[in-house]
């Protein structure tokens, strides 16, 4: 009989590199491996503390002199669709949703390439090949789903979201969609549909990744009511997006050792089953 000793996860820090959101700044991430029988509990716990999953890794911004990136989620109970969001839902009423296992397909990759070439041609994922794409979709040690959106008439694949199912919500790991329907607001629609998915499943939150005040790329997230951000060890309601600024004071970022010491870890000695 094999026994596994409970070992606390080890945390590491990436080397600084140019920030993709704010010009002239450097980003750095705190990360740990996500593996083994306790992966689900670790993912649930750290997601609630501002971490995000990328394949078998959990990470959180830990920049040396900037704390602009804020982990964001929507409190489903507090969300009320605006008039423009209701129009977005109506414009996309001809789409069909299908949830599948995390398995990459050629149609997904073709859509992914068109999305990147149109919207993020100079981004960090621009050179991702089909094998790296498959790894992004399929390498997950937790409960993940691929949510596909297709045209009800033509059956064409219109949008895709890799979604994790957490203990208290759904986490939108990565989404992409056709660039051929700019008037449909597909990125916003996929978020709106995930709010509906969470509501129907009785899950209180939709995790959106990071919101960066002052970044045009991230501005759309602040338009959702019920938005909460993780600051100073707790989730806070965003009552006015303009009240948040891109803080770059070096003393606002705690030393790495202090950050790690303040991470609450779940009991990892029990099996997930």
Domain that holds residue 77: 72-241
Looking at the domain assignment, is residue 268 inside a domain?
A: no
Looking at the domain assignment, is residue 37 inside a domain?
A: yes
Q: 52 pLDDT band (50/70/90 cuts)? A: very high
Q: Indicate whether 159 and 105 sit together in one domain.
A: yes
Q: Count CB atoms within 10 A of the CB of residue 35.
A: 12
pLDDT digits (tens, 9 = 90+) for 65-90: 888 889 999 999 999 999 999 999 99
Round to whole Å and give the CA distance between 213 and 242: 8
pLDDT digits (tens, 9 = 90+) for 170-210: 999 999 999 999 999 999 999 999 999 999 999 999 999 99
Here the tokens at position 249 are: 């004071």
Round to whole Å and give the CA distance between 105 and 110: 9
Percent helix, strand, coil in the chain (nearest 5)?
Answer: 30, 25, 40
Q: Indicate whether 165 and 255 sit together in one domain.
A: no
What are the φ/ψ torsions at residue 211 (nearest 5 degrees)? Answer: -115, 135
Q: Indicate whether 37 and 138 sit together in one domain.
A: no
Percent of the chain whose predicted confidence (pLDDT) is above 90:
66
pLDDT value for 193: 98
Q: Indicate whether 28 and 78 sit together in one domain.
A: no
Of 139-143, 149-153, 259-263, the least confident: 259-263
Q: CB-based contacts of 271: which residues, under 8 Å, 6+ apart?
A: 37, 38
Here the tokens at position 105 are: 């397909």
Q: If residue 60 lies in a helix (H) or strand (E), which one and from where to where?
A: strand 57-61
Round to whole Å and give the CA distance between 241 and 218: 12
Looking at the domain assignment, is residue 145 inside a domain?
A: yes
Looking at the domain assignment, is residue 1 inside a domain?
A: no
Looking at the domain assignment, is residue 134 inside a domain?
A: yes
User: Is the Cβ–Cβ distance between 32 and 58 less than 8 Å?
Assistant: yes
Q: Indicate whether 149 and 201 sit together in one domain.
A: yes
Q: If residue 176 lies in a helix (H) or strand (E), which one and from where to where?
A: strand 169-177
Cα–Cα nearest to 154, from 199, 84, 234, 94? 94
Q: 252 pLDDT band (50/70/90 cuts)? A: low
Q: Indicate whether 106 and 200 sit together in one domain.
A: yes
Q: What is the largest CA-CA distance in the chain?
A: 60
**What 3-state class would DSSP assign to 148?**
strand
CATH number at residue 141: 3.40.630.30
Would you say residue 226 has pLDDT above 80?
Answer: yes
Round to whole Å and give the CA distance between 116 and 218: 16
Structural domain tally of the chain? 2
- How far is C-alpha 192 from the chain's CA centre? 14
Q: Indicate whether 117 and 56 sit together in one domain.
A: no
Place of tokens 């999305």: 115
Q: Indicate whether 78 and 44 sit together in one domain.
A: no
- For the entire predicted model, the pTM comes to 0.90
Q: Indicate whether 60 and 112 sit together in one domain.
A: no
pLDDT digits (tens, 9 = 90+) for 90-123: 999 999 999 999 999 999 999 999 999 887 656 6
Round to whole Å and give the CA distance between 50 and 68: 13
Looking at the domain assignment, is residue 119 inside a domain?
A: yes
Q: Indicate whether 82 and 204 sit together in one domain.
A: yes
């Amino acid at each position: 009989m094999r026994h596994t000793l409970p070992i606390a996860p080890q945390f590491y820090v990436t080397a600084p590199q140019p920030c993709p959101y704010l010009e002239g700044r450097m980003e750095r991430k705190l990360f740990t491996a996500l593996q083994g029988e306790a992966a689900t509990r670790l993912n649930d716990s750290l997601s609630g503390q501002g971490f995000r999953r990328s394949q078998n890794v959990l990470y959180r911004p830990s920049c040396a002199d900037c704390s602009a990136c804020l982990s964001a989620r929507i409190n489903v109970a507090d969300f009320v669709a605006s008039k423009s969001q209701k129009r977005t839902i109506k414009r996309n009423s001809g789409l069909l949703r299908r949830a599948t296992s995390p398995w990459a397909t050629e149609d997904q990759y073709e859509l992914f390439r068109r999305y990147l070439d149109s919207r993020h041609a100079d981004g960090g994922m621009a050179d991702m090949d089909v094998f790296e794409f498959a790894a992004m979709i399929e390498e997950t040690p937790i409960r993940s789903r691929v949510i596909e959106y297709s045209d009800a008439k033509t059956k064409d694949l219109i949008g895709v979201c890799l979604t994790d199912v957490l203990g208290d919500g759904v986490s939108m790991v990565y989404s992409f969609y056709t660039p051929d329907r700019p008037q449909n607001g597909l990125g916003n629609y996929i978020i709106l549909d995930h709010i509906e998915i969470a509501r129907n499943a009785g899950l209180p939150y939709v995790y959106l990744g990071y919101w960066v005040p002052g970044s045009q790329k991230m501005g759309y997230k602040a338009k959702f009511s019920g938005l909460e951000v993780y600051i100073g060890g707790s989730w806070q309601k965003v009552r006015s997006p303009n009240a948040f600024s891109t803080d770059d004071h070096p003393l606002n970022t705690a030393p790495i050792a202090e950050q790690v010491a303040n991470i609450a870890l779940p009991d990892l000695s029990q099996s997930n089953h």
